[in-house]
Amino acid sequence: MGVTEDFVALRRLADRYCSAVDDGEADKMASLFTADGELVVYPPGTRPGTEEPLRRWCGADGFRRLLAVLDESYVRWVHFLGNHWAEVDADQATGEAYLFACHLRDGADGGQEEEVALIRYFDHYQRVDGSWRFAQRNACRQWTTVRPLSGAPHVIDHALRGAGRS
């Protein structure tokens, strides 16, 4: 693979990770990591190596437990990836990616709230049998914002109802 192909493959790997989390697919998540690969979660505002991690997740069983925690905590969620870059050195690579992790949860007042976390990933990749995998994915939450949902419909909902088009 050339530099462009490696970068595209690494970005696709990161995108597939987000889809696997959003779809609740632990086996798919595990397939994106090396056999001993792990997701390491650090305390808010820290970077890898500055403090002990909060948690390490690995393998399909570990990712099932992670997804169970998400399922118990939130009504639904979606992840949006940006600022992805990587440096490739033969069959190893390092990189970073920013993530908006958007979660819908039940609020204490009976309404629903949106919880949005900005996460910065510090990734280590390894090429295995010609395909890139995460060797270690370090998740460092920068901050979290929580706000109530307005419950108002999106403006396009009004437009589509009144348009009379199919």
Helix (H) or strand (E) holding 141: strand 131-148
Alpha carbons 40 and 58: distance in angstroms, whole number:
9
Residue 52, CA distances (Å) to 44, 69, 137 in order: 12, 21, 15
What does the pLDDT average to over 89-113? 95
* 164 pLDDT more than 80: no
Give the CATH number of domain 3-163. Answer: 3.10.450.50
In sequence order, which residues have a C-beta less than 8 Å from that of residue 18 and are 6 or more positions away?
79, 80, 81, 99
pTM above 0.75, yes or no: yes
Tens of pLDDT along 117-133?
A: 999 999 999 999 999 99
Domain coordinates in residue numbering, the chain: 3-163
Of the pLDDT bands very low, low, confident and very high (cuts 50, 70, 90), residue 163 is: low
Tens of pLDDT along 50-80?
A: 999 999 999 999 999 999 999 999 999 999 9
Question: The tokens of 154 are what?
Answer: 């999106």
Give the pLDDT of residue 70: 96
Helices vs strands, H then E, count in the chain:
4, 6
